[in-house]
């Protein structure tokens, strides 16, 4: 995960707190959080970011920058620190949990951290109790390094927040020897010899493993529950079942499998579905499989699509269409879940035209459209602070359709919401839609088609949706709109901006000022060099108003 940074003491630390908070990365909208920072001396320490008056974060250094390196685990509230080429662990107040004696150490994960001492690998728990393995291993932990860091685009170096490897599968320890992975128990008895080239990140009680180019699965007892014979295993959208793929023909000039990102579909010669026990859900004979959440799976065989019952493969519904595609969308704003309304609908194609059907095969629209588009897969970034649109929001029921190179919006009942006359359209809220026509971008009321705002810019970067306001960031200006009245409050030119409580700190020509986004009025002109000066000025203004 990469994020913009401003790592330093004082004002720069405040800026990173604000950025992380409104990125939704580590800080809640109230309360506090601890993170590592780098001081001007080049050393690392820990800082506590608290929210107080005016909702601006107050930064307090709790561990002075004295370490050569510092990672922090928010789950366990323990920092991994390096000093004089040795590693150790401290708590969130700077108290030592272990001596700084290890040759190497990673961040805590699931209550344990990997360490190396005198050439031997081991681990410590959150109480500082260590277990050093006697075997001569190359390393311990899974084959993937999990890293979160803040990108150092604006500064000389990036800041790594934490780095860890998953250590346990159930009660078994992942070990590496001679470049291969295996499993031992806590008494160092061998459960699985080191023979795997990769042990994949895992969920539940089953783990994808690879030998050479082939994949299989093992359980938390180290038992092989799926033979090592598959070309691909995917369980990105479901914790309990896996799609398995097999290639019958290999072509060195082509990729092993084809992936359609829009639909989260993997194409290979044969596909099937297995559960986390390794048992067949859908046999490995289909051209395409898409498991649904109601105990059924969409399958394709010999150009024919149908829905079949899991395990029995009894056909429930047969489709006459040449293509069947799901409406999938996964993000922090609308995570994929069973209650996601568009999950029950499919876009289908027949004789070169697209339409929409429901999960029972009933046609919602005629087969007449050039394209049917999930609006939440458009490239414009839409985010909420906090998330105010739930899975029940009506915007989730909207579908963009295209006919004769023009677009409009229909709902899942097939009713026209916006006429098909626009070059592009994107529903933002239940009653506000961004439309583009003849290169002009307008925000309009979805029901009355009344124009709210002409957006005069080349590119729209993102929408930020708050409970009462909508912010539109594009090129070098920021529009903000009252959601209730649906009126434009202000258009502010900016080089950079930060949300602080009910104020916006805006930077123009390297100078900062304040706007109140409840009223859209400028409170303090952009004439201050840094945010600390600006905040002191705001304090005086608010204190005077209260008197």
In this prediction, residue 114 carries a pLDDT of 92
pLDDT (tens digit per residue) in 136-166 = 899 898 766 665 544 433 323 345 555 667 7
The band of 313, judged by pLDDT with boundaries at 50, 70 and 90, is very high
Residue 370 has pLDDT above 90, yes or no: yes
pLDDT (tens digit per residue) in 95-135 = 999 999 999 998 888 889 999 999 999 999 999 999 999 88
In this prediction, residue 163 carries a pLDDT of 66
The band of 337, judged by pLDDT with boundaries at 50, 70 and 90, is very low
The band of 315, judged by pLDDT with boundaries at 50, 70 and 90, is very high
What percent of the chain has a predicted confidence (pLDDT) above 70? 73
- Interstrand relation of 460-465 and 381-384 (parallel, antiparallel or unpaired): parallel
* Across 316-329, average pLDDT: 81
The dihedral formed by the CA atoms of 205, 211, 212 and 213, expressed in degrees to the nearest 10: -40
How would you write 266-307 as a 3-class SS string?
EECCEEEEEECCCCEEEEEEECEEEECCCCEEEEEECCEEEE
Residues 6 or more apart whose Cβ sits within 8 Å of residue 22: 385, 498, 499
What percent of the chain has a predicted confidence (pLDDT) above 90? 25
Residue corresponding to tokens 């994107």: 426
| Contact (CB, 8 A) for 523 and 532 | no
| Contact (CB, 8 A) for 429 and 389 | yes
Residue 388 has pLDDT above 90, yes or no: no
pLDDT (tens digit per residue) in 458-502 = 777 777 777 777 888 887 788 888 877 888 887 888 777 776 666
Task: Classify 449 as helix, strand or coil.
Answer: coil
The band of 368, judged by pLDDT with boundaries at 50, 70 and 90, is very high
The band of 411, judged by pLDDT with boundaries at 50, 70 and 90, is confident
Residue 355 has pLDDT above 90, yes or no: yes
pLDDT (tens digit per residue) in 40-81 = 888 988 888 664 433 445 667 889 999 998 888 877 889 999
Higher pLDDT, 372 or 379: 372
* Across 395-403, average pLDDT: 81
Name which of 19, 5, 1 is nearest 158 in CA terms: 5
Residue 171 has pLDDT above 50, yes or no: yes
Residues 6 or more apart whose Cβ sits within 8 Å of residue 476: 493, 494, 495
* Across 5-22, average pLDDT: 36
164 token code pair: 């860890």
* Across 441-458, average pLDDT: 85
In this prediction, residue 545 carries a pLDDT of 67
17 token code pair: 């707190």
Q: How does DSSP classify residue 54?
A: G
- In the predicted model, what is the mean pLDDT of the chain? 76
pLDDT (tens digit per residue) in 500-534 = 666 778 888 888 888 876 677 788 888 888 777 77
| Contact (CB, 8 A) for 87 and 80 | yes
Name which of 217, 110, 126 is nearest 166 in CA terms: 110
């Amino acid at each position: 995960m990469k994020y913009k940074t401003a790592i330093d003491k004082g004002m720069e630390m405040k800026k990173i707190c604000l950025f992380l908070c409104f990125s939704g990365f580590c800080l809640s909208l109230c309360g506090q959080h601890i993170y590592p920072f780098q001081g001007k001396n080049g050393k690392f320490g820990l800082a506590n970011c608290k929210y107080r008056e005016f909702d601006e974060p107050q930064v307090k250094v709790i561990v002075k920058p004295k370490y050569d390196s510092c990672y922090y685990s928010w789950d366990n509230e323990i920092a991994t620190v390096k000093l004089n080429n040795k590693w150790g662990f401290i708590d969130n107040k700077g108290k030592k949990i272990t001596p700084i004696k290890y040759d190497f150490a990673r961040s805590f994960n699931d209550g344990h951290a990997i360490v190396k001492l005198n050439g031997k690998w081991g681990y410590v728990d959150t109480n500082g109790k260590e277990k050093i393995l006697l075997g001569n291993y190359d390393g311990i932990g899974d084959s993937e390094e999990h890293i979160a860091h803040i990108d150092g685009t604006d500064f000389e170096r990036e800041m790594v927040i934490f780095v860890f490897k998953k250590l346990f599968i159930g009660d078994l320890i992942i070990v590496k020897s001679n470049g291969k992975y295996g499993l031992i128990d806590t008494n160092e008895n061998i459960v699985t010899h080191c023979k795997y080239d990769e042990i994949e990140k895992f969920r539940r009680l089953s783990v994808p493993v690879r030998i050479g180019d082939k994949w299989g699965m093992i359980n938390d007892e180290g038992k092989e529950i799926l033979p090592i014979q598959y070309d691909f295993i995917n369980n990105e959208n479901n914790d309990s079942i896996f799609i398995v793929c097999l290639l019958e023909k290999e072509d060195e000039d082509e990729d092993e499998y084809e992936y359609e990102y829009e639909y989260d579909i993997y194409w290979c010669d044969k596909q099937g579905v297995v559960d986390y026990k390794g048992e067949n859900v859908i046999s490995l004979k289909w051209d395409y499989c898409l498991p649904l959440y109601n105990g059924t799976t969409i399958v394709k065989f010999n150009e024919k699509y149908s829905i079949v019952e899991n395990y029995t493969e009894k056909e429930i519904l047969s489709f006459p269409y040449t293509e069947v595609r799901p409406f999938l969308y996964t993000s922090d704003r609308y995570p994929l879940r069973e209650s996601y309304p568009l999950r029950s609908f499919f876009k289908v194609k027949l004789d070169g035209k697209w339409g929409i059907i429901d999960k029972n095969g009933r046609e919602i629209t005629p087969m007449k459209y050039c394209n049917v588009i999930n609006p939440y897969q458009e490239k414009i970034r839409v985010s909420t602070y906090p998330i105010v649109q739930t899975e029940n929001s009506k915007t989730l029921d909207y579908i963009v359709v295209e006919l004769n190179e023009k677009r409009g919006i229909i709902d899942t009942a097939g009713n026209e919401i916006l006429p098909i006359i626009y070059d592009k359209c994107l529903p933002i809220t239940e009653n506000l839609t961004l439309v583009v026509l003849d290169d002009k971008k307008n925000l309009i009321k979805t029901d009355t088609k009344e124009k709210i705002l002409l957006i005069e810019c080349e590119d729209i970067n993102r929408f930020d949706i708050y409970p009462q306001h909508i912010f539109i960031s594009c090129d070098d200006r920021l529009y903000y709109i009252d959601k209730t009245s649906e009126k434009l409050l202000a258009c502010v030119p900016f080089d950079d901006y930060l949300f602080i409580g009910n104020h916006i700190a805006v930077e123009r020509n390297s100078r900062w000022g304040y706007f109140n986004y409840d009223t859209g009025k400028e409170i303090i002109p952009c004439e201050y060099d840094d945010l600390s000066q600006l905040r002191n000025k705001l304090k005086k203004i608010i204190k005077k108003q209260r008197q």
